[in-house]
Amino acid sequence: MSRDRTHYLYIAVIVAVIAGIAVGLAAPEVGQDLKPLGTAFVALIKMMISPIIFCTIVLGVGSVTKAAKVGKVGGLALGYFLIMSTVALAIGLIVGNLVDPGQGLQLTDELRKAAEAEAVKGGESDTVTFLLGIIPTTLVSAFTEGQVLQTLLVALLTGFALLAMGERATPILNGIGHIQRLVFRILSMIMWAAPVGAFGAMAAVVGATGMDALKSLGVIMLAFYVTCVLFVFGILGPMLWAVARVSLVSLLRYLAREFLLILSTSSSESALPRLIAKMEHLGVSRPVVGITVPTGYSFNLDGTAIYLTMATLFVASATGAPLAFGEQISLLVFMMIASKGAAGVTGAGLATLAGGLQSHRPDLVDGVGLIVGIDRFMSEARALTNFAGNAVATVLVGTWTGEFDKERAAEVLSGRIPFDETTLLDDDNDPPPPPPAERSDDPALSPA
């Protein structure tokens, strides 16, 4: 019965999105006034991300036999993220150079001012600031500041510390397990506000942009969406099948509700907690999920890579100052580094674009104003592509490390083992992590 009720919940989300679009078109000012509804919903979701990541990683690291396993998972994940980001970068360059959608557009003073505002936001961060920002001010400030990488660092340190404590860590691990159940229960309650958040978010963006921006800049939008689809189904799909023998279509169908959330909020961060829960339910081990998913949200930005390449070429062409191939590579490599950690933030891609141009080609910054009006709609495609890439990455890393249960995945994807939408956890099906006293380097005592 709980699953039936949540089914109606997501039907309500679809209706809310349609209603939001209608209100935004019919009464633009009213639509813009509804923006706080969408902002509040995303803020509620973000409020839960740090405790969920912390609990998942600590329980995952605390349940492994050897600390080296965590390093192996992290190394494989980062290596894969680097390769796929490069592939996404190359695809964006190829399509952007072939389509050349920026010709014939004109800048206005209003657009120049909008570009200047984005350049200021994008220039606030650099690579050194990003790296230093991974270290929180205090042990608990990572939770209060909502920084995913800071939470990841604190959780890893906590997990390794518990691993070294041996059997004395058992009560702490049990307590964190109970906290995780509480946090996921709160998240399931928050999800009932999704229709309201979706309605406010869509009404605001449609009310602010209308259809004029879509008509004048339809070419770059269409090219970007097609490129994202080609990347997901032409690169990720075959790789997922070749490595894990999992159908991409089945995986995307399994994550359909999460994609709906992202579509309505334009932020992949709104679905991060549910991705963690669903990947564990699918059959990927807790350590792999706990490390790969949060890290992927900062380092596996396939959609953002495609966006930055195509948007850069678009701006250069529209302003009559096309970039040489060498300039394209150096500028986009900088943007890729500067964009880390911004996957779940709506509009962060636009700020990164403006900041990168300000640093390398200030004469092109004004052209960012041309893309401001449609960035929200491109943000949706970025977020969807980033999310799909992280879901695939989690399955692949789980397969490479032998931490993916293919038989369970087949049962889950076929619908025979349904996901519990009420608790978001498999309390009745999954055994608790082994206590530290049972851990040993003896292969006979290692988990299968």
pLDDT tens-place string over residues 352-404? 677 667 666 777 776 676 676 667 677 778 888 989 999 999 999 999 988 89
- For the residues 46-73, what does the mean pLDDT come to? 73
Examine residue 216 and state whether it is found in any structural domain, yes or no.
yes
The Cα angle at residue 402 between residues 396 and 404, in degrees rounded to 5: 60
| C-alpha dihedral sign at 331, 333, 336, 337 | negative
Which CATH number does the domain housing residue 396 bear? 1.10.3860.10
Residue 243 backbone dihedrals phi, psi, to 5 degrees = -90, -45
pLDDT at 444: 37
Q: How many domains does the chain have?
A: 1
Q: Is residue 443 part of a domain?
A: no
Q: Is residue 94 part of a domain?
A: yes
**431 within a domain of the structure (yes/no):** no
In a domain, 302, yes or no: yes
Distance of alpha carbon 304 from alpha carbon 343, whole angstroms: 7
CB 224 within 8 A of CB 306: yes
Distance between CA 324 and CA 326 in Å, rounded? Answer: 5
Q: Which domain holds residue 218?
A: 2-425
With beta carbons less than 8 A apart as the criterion, state whether 372 and 110 touch.
Answer: no
Query: Under a CB-based contact definition with an 8 Å cutoff, are residues 156 and 31 in contact?
Result: no
Could you read off the pLDDT of 244-289 as tens digits, one per residue? 999 999 999 999 888 888 877 767 777 888 888 899 999 998 888 8
Report if residue 438 sits inside a domain.
no
Q: How does pLDDT run across 102-130, given as a tens digit for each residue? A: 555 554 454 455 545 554 554 444 556 66
Write down the mean pLDDT value for the chain: 75
Mean per-residue pLDDT, 32-45? 81
Q: Of the ranges 8-17, 72-81, 153-162, 227-236, which one carries the lowest mean pLDDT score?
A: 8-17
> Is 446 among the domain residues?
no
- Looking at the domain assignment, is residue 435 inside a domain? no
Asked whether the CA dihedral 240, 244, 248, 253 is positive or negative, the reply is negative
Q: How far is CA 59 from CA 38, 131, 140, 278, 283, in A?
A: 32, 26, 18, 16, 16
